[in-house]
Every structure is written in C-alpha cells, then in structure tokens.
Amino acid sequence: MGIPFPSDAWIKALMEEVNRSPGYAEAAKNWEGDFYFVVEPEGPMTKPVVLYMDLWHGRCREAFEVTDESARNPAYRMSAPYSVWKQVIQGKLDPIQALVTGRIKLKGNMVNIMRNVRAAKELVLCCTRVPTDFIA
C-alpha cells in the first residue's frame, strides 16, 4: 500500500526520504531555497495541489501541502501537469530534460539552479523511493 500522490502525507514521506539520503545531503550541501511544487489538474484531478518543501544545506526542514498559495513566498515554483510529475516520480522522465523542454515550468533564481542540477537529480531519486499510489 503506497501513499497517495499528491498529498500532505506524500510530501512528508518525501521529506523523510530526503533526510535519509546521503546522496542528497552531499549533492545539496550548498543549497538554500524553498520550493512550491505545483501539480496542475488533469484527468481525475479537478484543482491544483501545491506542495511546499524547505530545502536547506542537504536537508529538508519542513514539508506540507499548502491550501492557500499565498501563505508562503518560496524562492522557487515548479509546476507541471499531474501526468508529468507521475512520470518523474516513476523515474520514467528525466526531470532536467522535462525542465529544458518546458514540460516542467520553473520560476526563481536560475544562477543557483544551474549550479545545483545534481541536487535536483538526487531529489528526484528520493521521490522514486517513496512508495506511491497514483490516482490515475
């Protein structure tokens, strides 16, 4: 039995995975910046789901589902339709390729992102380790 994606329980499970991962800790040791991961509605989803993660020097300090997007003002906002996130989490889509082709949209300081692409890859590896139930 997996954890439903997207949900508060899922992003908290990812936080635990991130904080267990020596690969992420090493790759993101210089990273400072929090994120909104926006899952755009598609198929059975009828409204967007926004997941928040505060990533700081190789650890996740806080993670939860956001009901009001104005509640925080994170440094980065990544958004994509549900099916794209599903492919990324399943390890079927390279997240960097998805960013380059615009399937995942990213807003925020690009200098930091360009210097930390390995951290992004390790974060996605953590995603693939979360036992996940997809709604479709």
Site for another protein, rule CB under 8 A: 26-27, 94, 96-97, 99-103, 106, 109-111, 113-118, 121
Q: How far is the CB of 53 from another protein (least distance, A)?
A: 18
Q: Which is nearer to another protein, 15 or 18 (CB)?
A: 18
Q: Report DSSP letters for 79-130, one per residue.
A: EEEHHHHHHHHTT-S-HHHHHHTTSSEEES-HHHHHH-HHHHHHHHHHHHHS
CB of 20 to another protein, least distance (A): 17
Nearer to another protein (CB atom), residue 18 or residue 27: 27
Burial call 78-101: b when 16+ CB within 10 Å, e when fewer: bbbbbbbbbbbbeeebebeebbee
Rg (CA), the chain: 14
Q: In the bound complex, what is the minimum distance in angstroms from residue 7's beta carbon to another protein?
A: 27
Q: Which is nearer to another protein, 7 or 77 (CB)?
A: 77
Beta strand pairing call for 105-107 and 132-134: unpaired
What's the min distance (Å) between Cβ of 23 and another protein? 8
Nearer to another protein, 12 or 74 (CB): 74
